[in-house]
Amino acid sequence: MRNSSLAAGLALCLLPSPAAAQAISEAEAQELRAQISALKAQVERLETRLNGSTSAVAVASATTPVAPAAPTAAQPAKTGSSTDVSWKGGPVFSKGGASFHVKGRIQYDAGLLMTPEPFGSAATPDRARGYSNELRRLRLGGEGQLGGGFGYKLEVELSDNSVDLVDTYITYEKGKWLVTLGNQNAFQSLDELISDTAGSVMERAAFTDAFAFERRLGLSAQYRSGMLLAQAGIFSDSADSLTNSADGPNGGDENNSYGVDGRIVLAPKFGKTQLHFGLSGHWRDFQRLSEVPQRYRQRAYLHTANSRILATPAIAADGESHYGVELAAERGPLWAAGEAHWLRVSRPGLADPTFFGGYGEVGYVLTGESRSYKNGIFGIVKPDHPVGSGGWGALQATVRYDYLSLDDKDITGGTQSGIIAALVWTPVEFLRFNVNYAHLDYTDAAILAGGRNDYGVDVVGWRAELDF
């Protein structure tokens, strides 16, 4: 029935109108009839094939589920309507122009501090020598994008038996500019800005702790173009200090200290050699904090041992200014870096002491990889052949000289001269094992050892860390 109807329709389409039929010859009519017969035969063959295919599809549909068709150019896949999930050490959720990357960090430290005996005095005994261990950091948070150039980062950390805000800020990026508002690093030093999971040794240079480098609440701007990086900002105090509910100048509601910080980096690259030249300058007015005496002090390398072998007496100060110089170079698996930093303490009516710290180091990745370098700082070593993929990870070695002097004018806080050797094994990305040895020589130490304040100590430290 369908064949007859289709053939009749085709015939009607092909037959000329009555007016035209009177004008055609008998030969033309015969030719048209032959064409109609041929078309009818083709339609019958197509109908037979179609009936067979429909039966096969019906049988397949009854036994096998049919997957939905993939999007085509005429039917594009929907975007922004579902959440995509990827993996970067932790899950990364993204939808349209927004994203959220779950971040975390675990660091477990242990160490051995070997000092002359007895350590401390009868008046000030100290039992920190020997073995100690701690959960150095437990950090949780996330970062991502909000769309329109806006981003964010929020991290909290359990450290020193308290929960602290770490990187907690909002960003806006457009072209070569990046603006950041919140609790952030204030551009004090190359070694301070390198992540604690990307450092060449377990702990940062002694001067970074002694000079109280820390994240502070503020507004900063960064400009990056080619080999030039320029950073500047205005900052108050750390977010934790400003939430302190105590009364007095140490209380958060009365802490009106502020400072200005800036850093400029030139990072030219010649062939395979990456160079780094940096300068930073900092000025801070203590305001009401000037009512609280300031102290500058430092541990014997290990964070697990709280004894401050170097320490100044309490200093009545109304502010401080400091500046630093950074030099570094990297070529393949080899790198070298060094810094020098001077801090001047402003004392009303008295001479201003200037304290000094610096370090120099040489390192090599024994398995051939390179330390990453981006945005004016060094990053992690990513193993080319991780454990589980036919290799045994990446292994890097570093030797560092670390110096700190807290002696100047009438202030005696002691000096430290140290040699540090470190091995870092990265079996897989995001996981590292760090072993350090340090020999530190002290003069004018704040803690007596064997009845003397000039002596040497030996330190062995271990760290296991997971960071994603």
SS (H, E, C) 21-37: HCCCCHHHHHHHHHHHH
| Residue 67 is assigned to a structural domain of this protein | no
| Residue 56 is assigned to a structural domain of this protein | no
Are 34 and 172 found together in one domain? no
| Residue 79 is assigned to a structural domain of this protein | no
Domain extent at residue 187 = 103-467
Are 159 and 22 found together in one domain? no
446, two tokens: 């704040």
* pLDDT score recorded for residue 330: 98
| Residue 275 is assigned to a structural domain of this protein | yes
Angle at 270 between CA 268 and CA 272, to 5 degrees: 115
| Residue 259 is assigned to a structural domain of this protein | yes
The CA-based dihedral angle spanning residues 200, 202, 208, 213, taken in that order and rounded to the nearest 10 degrees = 110
> What is the Cα gyration radius of the chain?
36
Are 452 and 344 found together in one domain? yes
Cα separation, 41 vs 34, in Å, equals 11
| Residue 127 is assigned to a structural domain of this protein | yes
| Residue 88 is assigned to a structural domain of this protein | no
CATH of the domain at 305: 2.40.160.10
Are 221 and 333 found together in one domain? yes
| Residue 86 is assigned to a structural domain of this protein | no
Between the CA of residue 4 and those of 30, 32, 38, 362, what are the distances in Å?
Answer: 20, 18, 14, 92
* pLDDT score recorded for residue 429: 94
Are 116 and 32 found together in one domain? no
Residues in the chain where the model's pLDDT stays below 50: 1-23, 53-80
In the chain, the number of structural domains is 2
Are 226 and 313 found together in one domain? yes
* pLDDT score recorded for residue 68: 44
* pLDDT score recorded for residue 99: 95
Are 21 and 142 found together in one domain? no
Are 318 and 460 found together in one domain? yes
Are 14 and 146 found together in one domain? no
| Residue 215: other Cβ atoms inside 10 A | 21
Are 220 and 345 found together in one domain? yes
Are 18 and 158 found together in one domain? no
Are 449 and 337 found together in one domain? yes
The candidate with the shortest Cα–Cα distance to 190, out of 369, 357, 344, 65, is 357
26, two tokens: 């008998």
* pLDDT score recorded for residue 248: 84
| Residue 430: other Cβ atoms inside 10 A | 17
